[in-house]
């Protein structure tokens, strides 16, 4: 199967593997930023024109754009990140599990399309147990800026019909 | 550690990596087919003699073969896929998280043995919250048919003792 | 991007990929040992001076060391593994999902630092449903002993404030 490392077919597969790994690494760093409440780091993972939306599967399936969170560029993302410092909400821990990554292909402008499943598990400080806060899919466009990957678009489409408690923090 | 890309030991490790990635990609495409309710696509991921069973850990541990779903070939799988169009059951969203993939080795006939853990999260349309519908292990045999991987066998062994609501759709 | 397989930059990326895969494989074998109740196999995955602790995120954030389980070397781990044979507790199934692996770097002594998120799903035999028993992060130091990876340290930091039922088995 792997006749020679100089085999061009094989090199393409290794290249695909490296890209897959790079995006997986990005997603894990993204999850860690949110789980550790580093929201400015989170916002900085987007391009300047980065688009971020959290919307229900119901709305997404009907091409209805309204979501729980809607940010059209990094300014709006940073605004949200900084606003969290003054907002009042019950203290909580979050933990993201991101899996099932699929790298889907390239857009005409070079952006890389990908998707991954996510589960956000939440612990409210006044309740003893961990709950599945949100479960859904990230539909993404990644762009290379310098030597880094950034999100040009992340659409978080969640399955659960009600969001338990409240969605304060991004997913 | 990585003296030279022409190092045969190293090539074996890269080959193992590529196979692992290929199976992971298969599992993610499989999960997406089910999550998007594309059941014919799901059935087509098996070989013609593909074996598919969903059985409890209790039964599996005692070598008892009866399961909730039992299909001995692709005809039975397609039959099931098509039957879902006429069956009546509460509408729902499913989301699979597949993780902990282990490629275990090769059978004498060349089939590749693997296992992975899975969690199926279900949202019923008349209930607000996401629930863990089923959690378990896929015990698999993969076979290469042309340039594609197919499932020659998938045994889904679930831990939970009761299946909430009903198991309508394959896992 | 992948000019030549003899490219040293590229070799470094492949090397990183192989190490990542190796740790992922370790974590999956670790999870399988616990899920299948092979506790001596579990203990053998640590170095002789292996350190293992399960502690709450509350305590970990405050640098407070007391945890639910605390083992300072393989002797204590094996002791715990063997003690489980005589302890009384409700029978249960466990299933680990380990994801979001990040390989973080190397310690001065050559140990490899890594982290991964985990969810332990538990089914008690006298209750029908699967529950999230524990969710958290593994903070790890891996060491190469001969040709095998071993855990020189695993700190399991869990988010949930109460542990449902009891923590009998290691995570």
B136-161 pLDDT, tens digit per residue, is 999 999 999 999 999 999 999 999 88
User: Residue C165's pLDDT is what?
Assistant: 65
| Secondary structure string (H, E, C) spanning B72-100 | CCHHHHHHHHHHCCCCCCCCEEEEEEEEE
Q: Does C4 contact B at CB distance below 8 Å?
A: no
Q: Which residues of A touch C137 (CB under 8 A)?
A: 35, 95
Runs of H (alpha helix) within chain C: 8-35, 39-43, 57-61, 74-83
Give the residue, B75 or B10, on which the prediction is more confident.
B75
User: Residue A81's pLDDT is what?
Assistant: 94
Average pLDDT across chain B, whole number? 91
Q: Quick one: pLDDT band at residue B6, thresholds 50, 70, 90? A: low
Say if the Cβ atoms of A18 and C14 lie within 8 Å. yes
Contact B69, B46 (CB under 8 A): no
Considering only alpha carbons, which residue of chain C is nearest residue B15?
C18
**C-alpha closest to that of A140 among A15, A41, A45:** A45
Q: Does A75 contact C at CB distance below 8 Å?
A: no
Helix (H, G, I), strand (E, B) or coil at B26: helix
Residue B3 has pLDDT above 50, yes or no: no
User: Residue B147's pLDDT is what?
Assistant: 92
Neighboring chains of B (3 or more beta-carbon pairs < 8 A):
A, C
Residue B41 has pLDDT above 70, yes or no: yes
Say if the Cβ atoms of C95 and B137 lie within 8 Å. yes
Chain B / chain C CB contacts < 8 angstroms: 73
Name the residue among C117, C137, C160 with its Cβ closest to that of A130. C160
Distance CA C99, CA B153 (A): 25
pTM: 0.93
Percent of chain B with pLDDT strictly greater than 90 = 74
- Whole-Å CA distances, A159 to A59, A69, C35, C163: 10, 15, 28, 27
Tens digits of residue pLDDT in B54-103: 999 999 999 998 889 999 999 999 999 999 888 888 889 999 999 999 99
Q: Quick one: pLDDT band at residue B5, thresholds 50, 70, 90? A: low
Q: Which residues of A touch C161 (CB under 8 A)?
A: 123, 125, 127-128
Residue B1 has pLDDT above 70, yes or no: no
Q: Does C7 contact B at CB distance below 8 Å?
A: no
| Strand duo B69-71 + B92-106: pairing | unpaired
What six digits make up the tokens of B16? 């193992």
Order of strands across the sheet that contains B46-56: B69-71, B46-56, B148-158, B131-145, B112-124, B92-106
Name the residue among A5, A93, A130 with its Cβ closest to that of C5. A5
Q: Which residues of B touch A161 (CB under 8 A)?
A: 123, 125, 127-128
Give the residue, B69 or B167, on which the prediction is more confident.
B69
User: Residue A1's pLDDT is what?
Assistant: 44
Average pLDDT across chain C, whole number? 91
HSE of B130 in the Cβ direction (CA atoms, 13 Å)? 29
What six digits make up the tokens of B156? 């889904």
User: Residue A84's pLDDT is what?
Assistant: 85
Beta strand segments in chain A, E: 46-56, 69-71, 92-106, 112-124, 131-145, 148-158
Name the residue among A18, A28, A128 with its Cβ closest to that of C161. A128
Name the residue among A17, A28, A130 with its Cβ closest to that of C17. A17
Contact B157, B135 (CB under 8 A): no
Q: Which residues of A touch B32 (CB under 8 A)?
A: 100, 102, 115
Could you report the predicted ipTM of this complex, rounded to two decimals?
A: 0.90
Q: Which residues of A touch C17 (CB under 8 A)?
A: 17-18, 21
Say if the Cβ atoms of B121 and A159 lie within 8 Å. yes
User: Residue B165's pLDDT is what?
Assistant: 65
Percent of chain A with pLDDT strictly greater than 70 = 95
Tens digits of residue pLDDT in A120-130: 999 998 887 89
What six digits make up the tokens of C103? 């390989």
Q: Which residues of A touch B93 (CB under 8 A)?
A: 57, 159
User: Residue A89's pLDDT is what?
Assistant: 83
Distance CA C100, CA A31 (A): 8
User: Residue C86's pLDDT is what?
Assistant: 82
Q: Does C168 contact A at CB distance below 8 Å?
A: no
User: Residue C65's pLDDT is what?
Assistant: 87
Q: Quick one: pLDDT band at residue A49, thresholds 50, 70, 90? A: very high
User: Residue B4's pLDDT is what?
Assistant: 52
Residue A162 has pLDDT above 80, yes or no: no
Say if the Cβ atoms of B117 and C31 lie within 8 Å. yes
């Amino acid at each position: 199967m792997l006749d020679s490392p100089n085999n061009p077919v094989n090199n393409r597969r290794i290249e695909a593997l490296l890209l897959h790994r790079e995006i997986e690494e990005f997603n894990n760093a993204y999850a860690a930023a949110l789980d550790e409440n580093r929201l400015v780091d989170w916002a900085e993972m987007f391009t300047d024109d980065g688009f971020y939306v959290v919307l229900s599967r119901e709305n997404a399936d009907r091409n209805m754009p309204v979501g729980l969170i809607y940010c059209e560029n990094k300014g709006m993302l940073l605004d949200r990140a900084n606003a969290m410092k003054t907002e009042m909400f019950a203290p909580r821990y979050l933990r993201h599990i991101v899996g099932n990554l699929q790298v889907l292909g390239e857009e005409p402008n070079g952006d890389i399309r990908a998707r991954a499943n996510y589960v956000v598990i939440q612990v409210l400080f006044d309740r003893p147990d961990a709950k599945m806060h949100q479960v859904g899919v990230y539909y993404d466009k990644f762009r290379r800026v310098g030597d880094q990957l950034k999100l040009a678009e992340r659409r978080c489409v969640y399955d659960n019909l009600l969001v338990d408690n409240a969605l304060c923090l991004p997913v």
